[in-house]
């Protein structure tokens, strides 16, 4: 059977969504993606490069480097929680609802990485 493009429930071959709610949520997701995709890619690029740059700077100036790495992790994590834009292959594999949940969980893990960096910095400082 074919599955709903949003929630992955089984539907007939003639339908794309199982209900109007799934269709509405998918439309809202695509509108939000259209509106915020440039901001997402710019912030994503800055933060993804900010993490290793911050860790590299930490060898010269620990306070500055760890601050840059931690802020990059927190900003990237918050962005993934509030603007979860999974990849097209992830959406095809898991459908939209589950792909958004996975992206949000990944955002929480990235924030956890930032907290781990700060925690390790305090442990190693002692």
Please report, in angstroms and rounded to a whole number, the separation of the first and last CA atoms in the chain. 60
- Encoding tokens for residue 86? 């999974």
- pLDDT score at 118: 87
Rounded mean pLDDT, 19-32: 95
Confidence of residue 123 (pLDDT cuts 50, 70, 90): confident
State residue 125's pLDDT score. Answer: 75
Predicted TM-score (pTM) above 0.95:
no
> Which of 1-5, 45-49, 54-58, 120-124 is the most confident on average?
45-49
- Residue 89, Cβ neighbours under 10 Å: how many? 9
Residue 58: the pLDDT is 87
DSSP state of 58: T
11 forms beta bridges with: 2
pLDDT band at 43 (very low <50, low <70, confident <90, very high): very high
How many helices and strands in the chain, by DSSP H and E? 3, 2
């Amino acid at each position: 059977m074919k599955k709903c493009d949003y929630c992955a429930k089984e539907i007939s071959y003639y339908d794309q969504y199982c209900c109007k709610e799934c269709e509405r949520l998918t439309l809202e997701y695509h509108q939000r993606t259209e509106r915020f995709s440039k901001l997402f890619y710019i912030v994503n690029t800055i933060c993804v490069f900010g993490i290793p740059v911050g860790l590299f700077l930490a060898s010269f100036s620990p306070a500055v480097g760890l601050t840059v790495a931690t802020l990059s992790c927190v900003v990237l994590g918050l962005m993934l929680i509030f603007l979860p834009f999974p990849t097209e292959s992830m959406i095809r594999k898991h459908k939209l609802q589950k792909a958004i949940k996975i992206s949000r969980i990944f955002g929480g893990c990235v924030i956890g990485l930032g907290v781990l960096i700060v925690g390790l910095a305090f442990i190693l400082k002692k």
